[in-house]
């Protein structure tokens, strides 16, 4: 019974008014910073066949309840509504029966009013469109052999070769030969081919020799309507809804929470069996919805940053930004990524707009995940889409990479140096003949680390090295954002034919794969992937986004070249030295007196059978010549070919490098 002192006009109001307007004793908090921290790791659902406990954190709530449903159909009324009580700062309720398969929502009362029902932010299973959580026995979701699933052998971080892929893009093309088109299961199929017999899908990834597949957001996002699974719907997935649940449209049954979980695990296990590790692209910097997100409905204002005028700040450019610096938000993100590692055997994470997160949160995440798995790979975008209320000095920006613990950032310096600015579409880059980019290319070659032969005042974006070690720089020429490399080169070089542009494409990928940062490839770039000139195709549909497998035959030379370069990098440690000290000791630039010809020498690497290597990048349209150090130099790569037995006769005194190409020499 409520105490009379908590009831407004207790002796005057009728009993109905009393029951709806009077609240139990609750602490009064003057600010969000005063909210208590819940210290335990059991938020969400704790299931057993005999009982299920529901628990979520919401200091703002005056009352809370959980509603149980036998179906995920929204028009259905709840089967049961249960009042929750507060224990240790969290709202909790226990039901003493087997709830396996039952759906649920939470609802809180604030300022005398019940807010809308919302999905449990800590839910680990959901129904269609993620609008109701689901109680499941997670052990029922483990595929056969899951307990013995093992990660592919992987040592130092510099050995990684990343391949960024959208789940649907890989298989949806009619020529993919894949049965489960657009699904997690599409990545489990072996032996799939094009009509002409070329490997597709998972077999293609194995053929390429990559070490990690980086999956674009594969947690539950809200823009694809899962109730229409057979419709051609598309989105990249950068609109998070339920962070701890796989996306339902990539499963064969979005209504059954167990199916999407099991099929995600089947995908991971198939990739592991094929020797490929799995990186998840995660978007903890913002939520897909803002004022009506389930975070805002259940934990008002706490998960977001706000401007001084009370409006939501928007460093993401998507309507809001997550307040990662708050203790319970930090705890949420940290526990979420750890859950994906433990429950789904994920091997690493790419953080979207990582620059919005605070440094302390990112370092806590890194510390925890490295304790779980020392070979975990962590990297992200070291920038924001707009200004944040949090000072730059506290944020995980590229310029602050030295303060990040074993976390890498993307090198936009190298990306735009290679092909031209992503914001100025007609601007040429090094591979398409631009001048005065030599220092930027050198900066990319050494993975944004310190090197005495770089004039930092001539680097395009960075006036100083920002990566303390090369393993903290991601080298790339293109990704899902902006134009594909092939389309970008077509826009900035309209006067050049496709054969000429394909040489530029090969040079760009060769530069990524022979530089000292961690190489990152956009899926399909090895076969000159096009999106028909569309820039940000996040909802453009399959006709634009699908990997078109007939391109594999059309661009066989480029495909073979990339595959051979991956093998070259994996065979020769000189191209992945791993530390700044080793780069400074073994890599020296050769002065060419020509800003369109970048040359460097890697010598004396003890672990490499090649003792003396010269690499030359020619970004000009015409061939270039360079005098060589004394001795005979075998040509191992030249003008889009790789042959470690040697191409033609060894050269002495001088070498000619074809236009828009790379040459690799070994003494």
Residue that is written with structure tokens 């094009």 in the block: 194
Residues 6+ apart with CB under 8 A from 77: none
**What SS3 string covers 24-61?**
CCCCCCCCHHHCCCCCCCCCEEEECCCCEEEEEECCCC
The string of DSSP letters for 226-243 reads TT-TTS-------SEEEE
Angle 236-222-184 from CA coordinates, rounded to 5°? 55
**What SS3 string covers 507-529?**
HHHHHHHHCCCEEEEECCHHHCC
Collapsing DSSP states into helix, strand and coil, what is residue 176? helix
The string of DSSP letters for 535-597 reads S--TTS-HHHHS--TTHHHHTHHHHHHHHHHHHHHHH-GGG---SHHHHHHHEEEEP-S-TTE
User: Which letter does DSSP use for residue 322 in this model?
Assistant: B
Identify the CA nearest to 182 among candidates 168, 170, 169, 192.
168
Cα 509 to Cα 528: distance, rounded to the nearest angstrom:
11
Q: Considering Cα of 7, then 13, then 18, then 20, what sign does the dihedral take?
A: negative
Specify whether 381 is catalytic.
Answer: yes
Q: Which of 169, 189, 220, 381 is catalytic?
A: 381
Q: Considering Cα of 381, then 383, then 387, then 389, what sign does the dihedral take?
A: positive
Rounded to 5 degrees, what are φ and ψ at 445? -60, -40
For the chain, the C-alpha Rg in angstroms (whole number) is: 27
| CB-count burial class (<10 Å; 0-12, 13-18, 19+) for 318 | buried
Tokens of 227: 């109730």
Q: Are the CB atoms for 253 and 259 separated by under 8 Å?
A: yes
Tokens of 286: 């913002």
Q: Considering Cα of 539, then 540, then 541, then 547, what sign does the dihedral take?
A: negative
Q: Which of 86, 117, 226, 352 is catalytic?
A: 352
Q: Are the CB atoms for 254 and 128 separated by under 8 Å?
A: yes
Q: Are the CB atoms for 465 and 448 separated by under 8 Å?
A: yes
Specify whether 352 is catalytic.
Answer: yes
As annotated, the active-site residues are 352, 381
């Amino acid at each position: 019974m409520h105490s009379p002192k908590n009831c407004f006009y207790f002796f005057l109001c009728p009993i109905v008014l009393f029951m709806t307007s009077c609240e139990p004793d609750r602490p009064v908090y003057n600010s969000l910073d005063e909210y208590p921290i819940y210290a335990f790791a059991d938020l969400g659902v704790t299931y057993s066949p005999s009982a299920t406990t529901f628990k979520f954190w919401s200091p703002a709530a005056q009352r809370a309840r959980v509603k149980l449903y036998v179906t995920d159909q929204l028009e259905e009324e709840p089967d049961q509504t249960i009042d929750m009580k507060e224990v240790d700062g969290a709202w909790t309720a226990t039901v003493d029966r087997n709830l396996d398969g039952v759906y649920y929502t939470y609802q809180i009362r604030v300022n005398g009013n019940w807010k809308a029902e919302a999905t449990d932010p800590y839910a680990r299973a959901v129904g269609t469109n993620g609008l109701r959580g689901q109680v499941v026995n997670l052990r029922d979701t483990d595929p056969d052999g899951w307990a013995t699933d093992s990660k592919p052998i992987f040592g130092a971080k510099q050995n990684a070769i990343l391949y960024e892929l959208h789940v649907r893009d890989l298989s949806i093309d009619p020529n993919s030969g894949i049965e489960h088109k657009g699904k997690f299961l599409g990545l489990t199929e072996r032996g799939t081919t094009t009509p002409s017999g070329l490997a597709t899908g998972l077999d293609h990834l194995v053929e390429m020799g990559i070490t990690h597949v980086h999956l674009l957001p594969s947690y539950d996002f809200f823009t694809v309507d899962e109730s229409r699974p057979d419709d051609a719907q598309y989105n990249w997935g950068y609109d998070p809804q339920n962070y701890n649940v796989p996306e339902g449209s990539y499963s064969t049954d979005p209504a059954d929470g167990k199916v999407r979980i099991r099929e995600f695990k089947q995908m991971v296990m198939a990739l592991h069996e094929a020797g490929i590790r799995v990186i998840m692209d995660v978007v903890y910097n913002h939520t897909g919805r803002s004022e009506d997100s389930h975070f805002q409905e259940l934990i008002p204002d706490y998960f977001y940053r706000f401007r001084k005028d009370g409006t939501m700040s928007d460093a993401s450019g998507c309507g809001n930004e997550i307040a990662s610096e708050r203790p319970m938000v930090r705890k949420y993100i940290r526990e979420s990524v750890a859950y994906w590692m433990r429950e789904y055997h994920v091997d690493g994470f790419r953080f979207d707009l990582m620059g919005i997160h605070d440094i302390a949160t990112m370092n806590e995440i890194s510390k925890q995940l490295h304790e779980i798995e020392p070979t975990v790979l962590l990297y992200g975008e070291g920038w924001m889409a707009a200004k944040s209320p949090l000072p730059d000095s506290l944020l995980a920006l590229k310029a602050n990479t030295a303060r990040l613990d074993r976390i890498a950032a993307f090198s936009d310096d190298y990306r735009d140096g290679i092909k031209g600015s992503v914001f100025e579409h007609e601007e040429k880059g090094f591979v398409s003949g631009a001048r005065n980019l030599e220092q930027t290319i050198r900066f990319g070659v050494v993975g944004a680390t310190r090197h005495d032969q770089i004039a930092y005042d001539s680097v395009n974006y960075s006036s100083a090295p920002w990566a303390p070690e090369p393993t903290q720089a991601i080298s790339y020429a293109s990704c899902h954002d902006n134009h594909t490399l092939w389309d970008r080169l077509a826009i900035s070089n309209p006067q050049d034919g496709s054969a000429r542009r394909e040489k530029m494409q090969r040079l760009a990928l060769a530069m990524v794969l022979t530089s000292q940062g961690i190489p990152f490839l956009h899926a399909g770039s090895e076969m000159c992937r096009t999106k028909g000139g569309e820039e940000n195709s996040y909802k453009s549909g399959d006709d634009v986004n699908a990997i078109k497998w007939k391109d594999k035959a059309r661009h066989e030379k480029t495909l073979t070249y990339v595959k051979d370069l991956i093998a070259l990098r994996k065979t020769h440690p000189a191209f992945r030295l791993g530390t700044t000290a080793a780069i400074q000791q073994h890599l020296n630039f050769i002065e060419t007196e020509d800003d369109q010809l970048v040359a460097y020498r890697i010598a004396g690497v003890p672990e490499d059978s090649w003792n003396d290597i010269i690499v030359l990048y020619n970004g000009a349209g015409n061939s270039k010549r360079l005098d060589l150090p004394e001795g005979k130099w075998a040509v191992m790569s030249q003008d889009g070919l790789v042959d470690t037995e040697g191409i033609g006769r060894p050269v002495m005194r001088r070498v000619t490098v074809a236009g828009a190409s790379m040459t690799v020499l070994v003494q």
